[in-house]
Amino acid sequence: MKDYEHPFFRPLWRRVTVVAVCVIWSGIEFATGTPFWGVIALGFAGYAVWQFFYLYKPAEQNEARPDETKE
């Protein structure tokens, strides 16, 4: 998750899925009586929200092509 601007994470649904999996994992850990791992999973979810929604900057749609000259 260090490279949060990787093209794989460009679609919103993938970023939402990663966060949802971490939250579900946390819920399962709490439900089975292992709160330590539940807190760890919540930490992953919080970090993912920070990286994928707060710091994430989508790629520019109108980037200039390398063959175009700028005047």
- pLDDT given for residue 59 in this prediction: 64
Per the domain annotation, does 64 fall within a domain? no
59 token code pair: 């790629």
User: Structure pTM?
Assistant: 0.73
Q: Residue 68: inside a domain, yes or no?
A: no
Interval 15-50: pLDDT, tens: 899 999 999 999 999 999 999 999 999 999 999 899
Determine the structural domain holding residue 19 and report its residue range: 9-54
pLDDT tens string 56-67: 776 664 455 555
Q: Is residue 66 part of a domain?
A: no
What's the total number of domains in the chain? 1
CA dihedral 13, 3, 51, 40 (to 10 degrees): 100
Within 1-71, residue ranges assigned H as helices are 12-31, 35-49
Residue 13 forms part of a structural domain: yes
Asked whether residue 71 is domain-assigned, the answer is no
How far apart are alpha carbons 45 and 40 in whole angstroms? 9
For position 69, what pLDDT does the model report? 56
